[in-house]
C-alpha cells in the first residue's frame, strides 16, 4: 500500500529540487511500505544512518549520541524553532522519546496515543487512539516512555499491559496481545520496546507490587511469544535457592520497566532488573534474591541467561538496577575492554566487563551516599545501612534515587559520560506487609530530608565513565528529569522541570543556549536530519510518579504546569 500522504509530499519536493532529491525523498518515505524496510539488520547498523533516531536510545549501545554535527557548540546559539506539535492531552505529561525514521517522526503520548508526523513540518500523518476499558486501574500511571519501529510496524506497550503493533503507514492495528491481566498482576508496560533481529523485546512494571517480573520477546510480524525470561528463577532452576522456601518468589518483584541494550557481536541483550519486593522489608525474602538488582545478559534468540552481575544483593532500599546499560569499548593502558557502564538508583555507577560479566569498578555519581560505606575492589558492599522495622533510618540517596530514570548520554568524541545527580536523603520507615498478588508490596515509606553536606540540590556532570573522575559540573536547583543528548557537534542537550530546554558545551559544561517551552522536561530529546538539515526535537510536558511526589520536597513544584508537546529546532535556513 502506498503511503497516503506521499503524493502531497512528493509534489512539494518537485519545486526547485533535482530529480535525484525527489527520488531519494520518495525512497525514504516509501521505506515503511517495503521499499527499504527497516529490518533488524538495518537497526544493527543504525550508526551508519545518523539522519535517523530509529531506536529508543538512538542505537543499541544506549549512548544517546548522534554523529550529526551541523549544529555545533559554536553555532547552537543561532537555533530557531521550526515547528511544534501538541498531543492534546496533558495528564501524565510527555515522558516519551520520539523516533525518526526516513523523515517520519513517531511519537507516543500518555494514554497510549500514537502519532506519525512529517519530521520536517510537523504535519500530522495519522493518529492512533488506544481504546481502554472504562474500569481500568492503571497501577503505574498513564504515561509512556516510547515505542519501537521496524518491519513496517510501530510497537508499544499499553497502560493495561498489552503489546500492540500498528501499520506504520496507516496507524491501523495489526496485532494486539495481552501480556498479563493488569487487574491480577498490578503490572503494565510504560517502557519502550526494542527490536532485535525479528523480535520485539518488551519489559514491564510491577516491581513494587507482589509480582514476578519477566522480559518477553514477541515475533515482530505475528505477535506470537518467542521466549520469556523470568527475572526470578522458579523451583528447580539455578538461582531459586537465593529465595526462601516459601511462595515469595512468585511475588518478589524484579521488574523490567525500562529498555535494554544489545551487543550484536555477542548476540546478547543486556537488561537492568528492578528491585525485589517487598521493597523495604527484606526480612520476608532472606537470600540474595536473584536476579533482582542484576544486569542480565541473555541470548537474543533463545532468552537464555548467559551471565548476570548482581549489584545489590538482598536490597533493602528500593534501589532498582533498572536504568540504562551503556555499552562502550574503552582503551586503557593499551588494552581495549568491552564494558557496560550502568548507573544505579543508589548513586553508584557499576562498570562491568560485558563479555565475562565480571566487576571492573563502582564509583558514586553523587556526593551524599550513606546506604553503604564503600564498595571494595571486588564489588562487595561494605557497611550496609539497612532500615529496620520500628525505627527510622536516614538513607542517602532516598528511593527517589541519586537520579531518576531519565537517561544519560555518552560521546565517543569527548570520551565523557554525561549524567545528572540529586543530593538528598530520606528517613526510611519499614512496615512489614504480606504479599497479595498484584497489590502494592512496598512495605515502607521514605520522608525526604536534606543531605549531611547542605541543601537539597541537583547537578549535571561529565565523567570519565570508568574511573568516575569528574570533568565538569553544572549546579541545578531541581532534579533534571529529562534524558540527555550529546551530538557530534559537541553539544549536550537537556531540559529542566520549569520548562527551559538547554544546550551545554560538551567539553566544558558552559551553557550555550536555552529556550523556554512552557512546561517541564520529562522525555528524551533527539536529533535527526531530513534532506541535509539537522533538527533537534524535544518533548515538553511535566508529569510522572516522581513529579507527583515533588511538592513534598519542593512545595512550589505543585504549581509547575504540565503540558504535552514536541518542539523542534534547527539552524536558520540559508537564503
Partner 1 sequence: MSEDDARVSNNRFGSDVRRSGTFRLCSVAVVLGAVAGIVLLPINQSRRIAYAGPQTDKLKDPQFIAEGAKLFAPSCGNAYCHGSGGVGGGAPRLRGKSLEAAYLFKTISNGISGTAMVSFKGEFSQEQIWKLVAFVMSDVKSAPDARPEASAADKQSPRATLESAESTATGSIGSAQAGRALFFDSNQSKSCHQCHSFQGEGTPIGPDLSKVGSRSPRELFAGIALPREVRKDTRYSTLKLTLRSGDKVVGIKTEEDAESIRVYDTTELPAVLRTIQKTDIVKLESANESVMPKDYASLYTMKQFLDLVTFLKSTDSKSPVALKDLLE
Which residues in the 201-240 window bind partner 1 by CB under 8 A?
A: 208, 212, 221-226, 228, 230, 234
Residues 6+ apart with CB under 8 A from 503: 76, 79, 491, 492, 493, 511, 512, 513, 514
In whole angstroms, the minimum distance from the beta carbon of 87 to partner 1 comes to 18
How many residues line the site for partner 1 (CB under 8 A)? 75
| Core vs surface per residue 3-23: b (16+ CB within 10 A) or e | bebeeebeeebeeeeeeeeee
Q: How far is CA 31 from the centre of its chain?
A: 26
Please select the residue that binds partner 1; options are 433, 529, 562, 564, rule is CB under 8 A: 433
In whole angstroms, the minimum distance from the beta carbon of 438 to partner 1 comes to 9
**Site membership for partner 1, residue 12 (CB under 8 A):** no
Per DSSP, 559 falls in state G
**Percent of the chain that is helix, strand, coil (3-state, to 5):** 10, 35, 50
In whole angstroms, the minimum distance from the beta carbon of 392 to partner 1 comes to 6
493-532 positions binding partner 1, by CB under 8 A: none
305-344 positions binding partner 1, by CB under 8 A: none
How many Cα atoms sit within 13 Å of 2 on the Cβ side? 8
Please select the residue that binds partner 1; options are 4, 11, 551, 561, rule is CB under 8 A: 551
Please select the residue that binds partner 1; options are 444, 465, 495, 520, rule is CB under 8 A: 444
Catalytic residue check, 263: no
Q: Which CB atom, from 216 or from 368, has the smaller least distance to partner 1?
A: 216
In whole angstroms, the minimum distance from the beta carbon of 153 to partner 1 comes to 12
Contact letters for partner 1, residues 392-411 (x by CB under 8 A): x------xx-----------
Q: Which CB atom, from 208 or from 263, has the smaller least distance to partner 1?
A: 208
The number of residues making up the chain comes to 575
| Cα separation, 344 vs 325, whole angstroms | 10
In whole angstroms, the minimum distance from the beta carbon of 307 to partner 1 comes to 24
In whole angstroms, the minimum distance from the beta carbon of 486 to partner 1 comes to 30
242-301 positions binding partner 1, by CB under 8 A: 244-248, 250-251, 279, 281, 283-284
How many Cα atoms sit within 13 Å of 173 on the Cβ side? 15
**Site membership for partner 1, residue 446 (CB under 8 A):** yes
Please select the residue that binds partner 1; options are 445, 470, 471, 518, rule is CB under 8 A: 445
Residue 128 and residue 114 in contact, taking contact as beta carbons nearer than 8 Å = yes
Residue 346 and residue 339 in contact, taking contact as beta carbons nearer than 8 Å = no
| Cα separation, 258 vs 189, whole angstroms | 9
In whole angstroms, the minimum distance from the beta carbon of 421 to partner 1 comes to 19
Q: Cα separations (Å) of 296 from 179, 305, 307, 372?
A: 21, 7, 6, 23
Contact letters for partner 1, residues 173-192 (x by CB under 8 A): xxxxxxxxx-xxxx------
Q: Which CB atom, from 171 or from 468, has the smaller least distance to partner 1?
A: 171
Q: Which three cell numbers stand for residue 57?
A: 536510545
Q: Which member of 198, 318, 420, 461 is catalytic?
A: 318
| Cα separation, 88 vs 565, whole angstroms | 8
Please select the residue that binds partner 1; options are 390, 475, 532, 572, rule is CB under 8 A: 390
In whole angstroms, the minimum distance from the beta carbon of 189 to partner 1 comes to 13
Per DSSP, 44 falls in state H
| Cα separation, 264 vs 89, whole angstroms | 39
**Site membership for partner 1, residue 427 (CB under 8 A):** yes
| Cα separation, 222 vs 357, whole angstroms | 33
Please select the residue that binds partner 1; options are 10, 75, 385, 440, rule is CB under 8 A: 440
Contact letters for partner 1, residues 119-158 (x by CB under 8 A): ---------------xxxxxxxx-----------------
Residues annotated catalytic, as ranges: 318
Amino acid at each position: 500500500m502506498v503511503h497516503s500522504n506521499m503524493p502531497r509530499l512528493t509534489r512539494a519536493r518537485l519545486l526547485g529540487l533535482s530529480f535525484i532529491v525527489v527520488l531519494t525523498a520518495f525512497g525514504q518515505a516509501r521505506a515503511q511500505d517495503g521499499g527499504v524496510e527497516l529490518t533488524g539488520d538495518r537497526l544493527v547498523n543504525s550508526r551508519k544512518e545518523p539522519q535517523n533516531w530509529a531506536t529508543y536510545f538512538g542505537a543499541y549501545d544506549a549512548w544517546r549520541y548522534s554523529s550529526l554535527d551541523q549544529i555545533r557548540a559554536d553555532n547552537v546559539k543561532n537555533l530557531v524553532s521550526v515547528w511544534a506539535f501538541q498531543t492534546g492531552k496533558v495528564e501524565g505529561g510527555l515522558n516519551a522519546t520520539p523516533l525518526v525514521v526516513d523523515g517520519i517522526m513517531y511519537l507516543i503520548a500518555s494514554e497510549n496515543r500514537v502519532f506519525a508526523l512529517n519530521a520536517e513540518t510537523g504535519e500530522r500523518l495519522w493518529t492512533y487512539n488506544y481504546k481502554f476499558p472504562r474500569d481500568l486501574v492503571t497501577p503505574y500511571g498513564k504515561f509512556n516512555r516510547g515505542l519501537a519501529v521496524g518491519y513496517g510496524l510501530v510497537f508499544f506497550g499499553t497502560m493495561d499491559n498489552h503489546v500492540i503493533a500498528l501499520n506504520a503507514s496507516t496507524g491501523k492495528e495489526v496485532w494486539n496481545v495481552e501480556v498479563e491481566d493488569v487487574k491480577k498482576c498490578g503490572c503494565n508496560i510504560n517502557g519502550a520496546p526494542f527490536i532485535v533481529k525479528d523480535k520485539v523485546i518488551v519489559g514491564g512494571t510491577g516491581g513494587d507490587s507482589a509480582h514476578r517480573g519477566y522480559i518477553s520477546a514477541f515475533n515482530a510480524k505475528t505477535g506470537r511469544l518467542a521466549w520469556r525470561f523470568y527475572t526470578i528463577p522458579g523451583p528447580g532452576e539455578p538461582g531459586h535457592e537465593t529465595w526462601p522456601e516459601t511462595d515469595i518468589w512468585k511475588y518478589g518483584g524484579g521488574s523490567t520497566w525500562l529498555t535494554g541494550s544489545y551487543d550484536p557481536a555477542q548476540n546478547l541483550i543486556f537488561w537492568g532488573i528492578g528491585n525485589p519486593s517487598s521493597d523495604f522489608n527484606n526480612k520476608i525474602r532472606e537470600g540474595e534474591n536473584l536476579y533482582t538488582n542484576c544486569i542480565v545478559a541473555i541470548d537474543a534468540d533463545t532468552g537464555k541467561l548467559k551471565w548476570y552481575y548482581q549489584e545489590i544483593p538482598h536490597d533493602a532500599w528500593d534501589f532498582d538496577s533498572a536504568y540504562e546499560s551503556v555499552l562502550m569499548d574503552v582503551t586503557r593502558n593499551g588494552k581495549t575492554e568491552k564494558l557496560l557502564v550502568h548507573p544505579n538508583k543508589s548513586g553508584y555507577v557499576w562498570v562491568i566487563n560485558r563479555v565475562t560479566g565480571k566487576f571492573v569498578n563502582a564509583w558514586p555519581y553523587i556526593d551524599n551516599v550513606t546506604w553503604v560505606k564503600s564498595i571494595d575492589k571486588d564489588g562487595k558492599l561494605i557497611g550496609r545501612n539497612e532500615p529496620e522495622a520500628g525505627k527510622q533510618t536516614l538513607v542517602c540517596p532516598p528511593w527517589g534515587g541519586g537520579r531518576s530514570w531519565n537517561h544519560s548520554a555518552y560521546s565517543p568524541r569527548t570520551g565523557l559520560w554525561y549524567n545528572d545527580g540529586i543530593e538528598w536523603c530520606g528517613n526510611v520507615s519499614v512496615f512489614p506487609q504480606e504479599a497479595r498478588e498484584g497489590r502494592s508490596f512496598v512495605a515502607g515509606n521514605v520522608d525526604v530530608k536534606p543531605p549531611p553536606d547542605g541543601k537539597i540540590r541537583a547537578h549535571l556532570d561529565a565523567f570519565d565513565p570508568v574511573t568516575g573522575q569528574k570533568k565538569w559540573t553544572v549546579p541545578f536547583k531541581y532534579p533534571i528529569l529529562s534524558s540527555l543528548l550529546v551530538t557530534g557537534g559537541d553539544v549536550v542537550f537537556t531540559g529542566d522541570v520549569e520548562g527551559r530546554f538547554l544546550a551545554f558545551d560538551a567539553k566544558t559544561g558552559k551553557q550555550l543556549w536555552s529556550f523556554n517551552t512552557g512546561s517541564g522536561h520529562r522525555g528524551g530529546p533527539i536529533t535527526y536530519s531530513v534532506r541535509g538539515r539537522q533538527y533537534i526535537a524535544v518533548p515538553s510536558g511535566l508529569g510522572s510518579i516522581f513529579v507527583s511526589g515533588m511538592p513534598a520536597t519542593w512545595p512550589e513544584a505543585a504549581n509547575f504546569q504540565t503540558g504535552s508537546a514536541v518542539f523542534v529546532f534547527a539552524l536558520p535556513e540559508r537564503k
